[in-house]
Amino acid sequence: MRIIMLGAPGAGKGTQAKLISERYGIPHISTGDIFRSNIKNGTELGKKAKTYMDQGQLVPDELTCDLVVDRIAQDDAKDGYVLDGFPRTIPQAEALKHALEGRGESVDFAIDVDVPDENIIKRMSGRRACVSCGATYHVVYNPPKKEGVCDVCGSGLILRDDDKPETVKKRLDVYHSQTQPLIDYYQKDGVLKEVDGTQEIDTIFSQIQKLLG
Ligand code: ADP
Ligand code: ADP
Ligand code: ZN
């Protein structure tokens, strides 16, 4: 099953992608996590990506598309995957379509997690992210068992630099201008599914499971 998560920054794409990944036994591929791990390891890609990420801008398509196309060609992705944070622009969606067509494949589901902007700022200030495995928590809505510690891997939790309100506002603008058009794009392809992302995490996940059949 090849699944794409769509939605604003902070809509809960990562949270749902992790649950889908566990339930269906397919890898969770997050471009944000890939960039952050490159930044942590001080790679060339990480250095380039950081300048954009810190400003709430998108990393250019040239640095993003090949990376994903290579990642989904790996062995663990042969039966499917859940892509979280990619595609984010029409050219990225086209690059993905071409790469898949070359193998006689296509996207099965694009799940749009819909959350209005008003809710997003509140969510982001409470988001805490694991420094090693990418799991995310929320201080109120989804706290870890032990404060400041990841349930999954035991590493420390941080407030991401780009989750401060000014950067979140910028990211929301970028989302509306560059990423939201993908909703129409996948609607036309006949693979779009929508869920109301303002509900409880578990409620959203049961609805997604029904949509996936
Ligand atoms: P969120 O889950 O809050 O939307 P991500 O972890 O997906 O955040 O992304 C963080 C940042 O990484 C983005 O603001 C952007 O700068 C960069 N990024 C992630 N994925 C992409 C992508 N597909 N194209 C361009 N930039 C990306
Ligand atoms: P995205 O990957 O779309 O940027 P995340 O999955 O990281 O979003 O979620 C953003 C923040 O909101 C996190 O702190 C997360 O714990 C919290 N969150 C996720 N889903 C919900 C929900 N349904 N209700 C309330 N908070 C949520
Ligand atoms: Zn962790």
All structural domains of the chain with their residue ranges: 2-117+167-212
Cα end-to-end distance, the chain, whole Å: 11
Pick the residue with more confidence: 92 or 134? 92
Instruction: Check pLDDT > 90 for residue 213.
Output: no
pLDDT value of residue 134: 87
For residue 19, how far is its CA from the centre of ligand 3 (angstroms)? 14
Please compute the mean of the pLDDT values over residues 186-204 and round it to a whole number: 98
Ligand 1 binding pocket includes 7 (Cβ within 6 Å): no
Q: Is the CB of 179 under 6 A from ligand 2?
A: no
Closest residue by Cα to atom 2, ligand 2, is: 14
> Residues 160, 127: contact at Cβ < 8 Å?
yes
Q: 3-state SS string over the chain?
A: CEEEEECCCCCCHHHHHHHHHHHHCCCEEEHHHHHHHHHHCCCHHHHHHHHHHHCCCCCCHHHHHHHHHHHHCCHHHCCCEEEECCCCCHHHHHHHHHHHHCCCCCCCEEEEEECCHHHHHHHHHCEEEECCCCCEEECCCECCCCCCECCCCCCEEECCHHHCHHHHHHHHHHHHHHHCHHHHHHHHCCCEEEEECCCCHHHHHHHHHHHHC
For residue 113, the model assigns a pLDDT of 98
- The residues annotated as belonging to the active site are 13, 88, 127, 160, 171
Q: Is 159 in the pocket of ligand 2 (CB under 6 A)?
A: no
Q: How far is the CA of 205 from the centre of ligand 2 (A)?
A: 12
Average pLDDT over residues 184-208: 98
CATH of 2-117+167-212, one of 3.30.70.100, 3.40.50.300, 3.30.565.10, 3.30.300.20: 3.40.50.300
pLDDT digits (tens, 9 = 90+) for 116-143: 999 998 899 899 999 998 899 999 999 9
Convert the pLDDT of each residue in 150-186 to its tens digit. Answer: 999 999 999 998 999 999 999 999 999 999 999 999 9
* Each residue's pLDDT tens digit, 6-60: 999 999 999 999 999 999 999 999 999 999 999 999 999 999 999 999 999 999 9
Distance 163 CA to ligand 1 centre (A): 12
pTM: 0.96
Give CA–CA dist 162/78, Å, rounded: 33
CA-wise closest residue to 14 among 205, 172, 187 = 205
Q: Which ligand 2 atom minimizes the distance to the CA of 32?
A: 2
What is d(CA 205, CA 211) in angstroms, rounded to the nearest whole number?
10
Position 122 scores a pLDDT of: 86
Q: Is the dihedral of CA 157, 40, 84, 53 positive or negative?
A: positive
7 close to 13: Cβ distance less than 8 angstroms: yes
Check residue 115 and give its pLDDT: 98
Angle, vertex CA 208, rays to CA 6 and CA 185, nearest 5:
30
Residues with CB under 5 A from ligand 3 (ion): 130, 133, 135, 150, 152-153, 155
